[in-house]
A and B are shown apart, each in its own frame.
Chain A
Amino acid sequence: MIFPMLLSAIDSRGVVDIITVIDCTPQSDNWVGQMLIVYDGKVEGQLEPVVIDKILGIVQTTGWTKPVTISVEDQQGNTYRIFWDRVVKKRCAIVFGGGHISQPLVQMLTAIDFEVTVIDDRPEFANSTRFPGAHQVICNNFQLAMNNLTIDSGTAVIIVTRGHRYDLDCLRATMSRNARYLGMIGSKKRIKEIIELVKAEGGPADIERQLYAPIGLDIKAATPAEIALSIASEVVAVFRGGSGRPLSGHKEAF
C-alpha cells in the first residue's frame, strides 16, 4: 500500500515527491492511477523500470516549484502523462515573546497553517491556554529554549519580546541560522542602534538585508491585532515571494 508508506516518508523525511500516472497513450488502464513516491533517492511503487528511470532523472535534475504535469515516453513508444506533486514539511514559526502582539499573531499564523512555537520566560505569558493553536509553548529563558529548536529555510523567526535587551539576545542567537524570515520589532531609531551594535560585535555584514526590522508591512497598524496582521502578511509575502503592494496597482491608495 502506497499511502501508509507515503505517510511515514513525510514524517521522517520532510520532502517527498509524489508521481501519479494520469494518462497513457495508447490507452492502458493498467498504469493510469499508479503512483510512485520518491524520497532520499529511494523509489516506492511500481511502473516499468525504463519509465521509473526517466522519471527519477527528471525529479533529480529539475527544480520543483509547483505541482506540474509532464510527459514521459518508454521504448515501445507509449507516452505516460504524469502529475508531479511534492509534500513539504509544514512551515514553522518561532515567536519570541508571549505578549499582546503574540496572542493574535499566533492565532493568525496557525490559521494560515504554520506550526507555531511560542517562547516566553514568564509563566503567566507562556502557557497553552493563552495560545490554544500553538504547536508548543515553551516557558524558559530565551537562549536556553533556543538550543532545542530547528531553524531552517522553512522557518519564520519573529522577535517580539517585552524589551529590547531580550530582543537583542534573541537576534544574536538566531541571525546566523538561515531562517527564511527573520523579523524584529522596534522603532527605526532603536533598530539602527541594534544593527550597529551587532555589526560591531562581528555579526553578519548583510544583517540589514537579512533582518525585517522594523517588522511588518506598512498598513498603519495601530492595535496589537493590527500589528500582528501586518507581521503575518509580511511573513506570507516573504514565503510566497509577494511584493506586498496593492493588487489594484494603486500607488498612493492610502
Chain B
Amino acid sequence: MDRTLVEHICECQSNGETAALVTIVETRGSTPRKAGSNMLIFPDGRSFGTIGGGCGEAEVRRQALTALDEKRSQLHTVRMLNDVAADEGMVCGGIMEVFIQIL
C-alpha cells in the first residue's frame, strides 16, 4: 500500500464516502500485478489505481460493487487460466486472490 492511496482513502472517509478497497493478497502463475497491488472502487463505478486491468479487473469490479451493496468484506478468486480467458485477452495464465474490503 502506498502513501498516495492511504491519503486518498482518508480524503474519501472524511467526505463520508463509502468505497471498496481491493487488494491482491496472493497470486499463482503469471498475473499482471502481484500481491500488495491495490485499487479503490466506489459505488458509482469510479475507481482509483489498478490491479492489472482487462477482464480480471472488470470481474473484480463487479464483485466489489456487489460487496458494497451487501456491505460485506470478502475474498474473491480470479482465474485467468481457461480458453475463455485467452479469448477475452486475459492471457497471463495465472490465478489471483483479491480481498475486497468495505471501508
Contacts and interface: CB of A to CB of B under 8 A. Distances in A.
A50 interface: no
A22 B1 contact: no
A29 B72 contact: yes
Given A22-B25, A22-B99, A10 B3 contact: yes
Contact of A18 (B1, B74, B102, B103): B1
Q: How many A residues touch the partner, as a band?
A: 20 to 34
Contacts of B3: 7, 10-11, 87, 90
Contact of A20 (B10, B23, B72): B23
Contact of B35 (A10, A20, A23, A67): A67
B84 interface: no
A241 to B, nearest CB: 15
Contacts of B13: 1, 3-4
A66 B35 contact: yes
Nearest to A88: B2
A83 interface: yes
A60 B46 CA distance: 38
B1 A87 contact: yes
A120 to B, nearest CB: 28
B102 A85 contact: no
B36 A66 contact: yes
Contact of B99 (A29, A66, A83): A83
Interface string B27-47: 000000011100000000000
A17 to B, nearest CB: 11
A73 to B, nearest CB: 18
B103 to A, nearest CB: 8
Interface string A18-42: 1010110000010011000000000
B23 A4 contact: no
Contact of B10 (A3, A66, A85, A90): A3
A87 B6 contact: yes
A32 B26 contact: no
B39 to A, nearest CB: 14
Contacts of B102: 33
B74 A32 contact: yes
Contact of B2 (A23, A67, A83, A87): A87
A174 B31 CA distance: 40
A87 B34 CA distance: 15
Interface string A62-98: 0000111100000000000001010100100000000
B52 to A, nearest CB: 15
Given A3-B103, A67-B25, 5 more contacts: A1-B13, A3-B6, A10-B6, A18-B1, A67-B34
When A and B form their complex, which 7 residue pairs have the shortest distance between CB atoms, in order from nearest? A33-B73, A67-B36, A67-B35, A22-B99, A83-B25, A3-B9, A33-B101
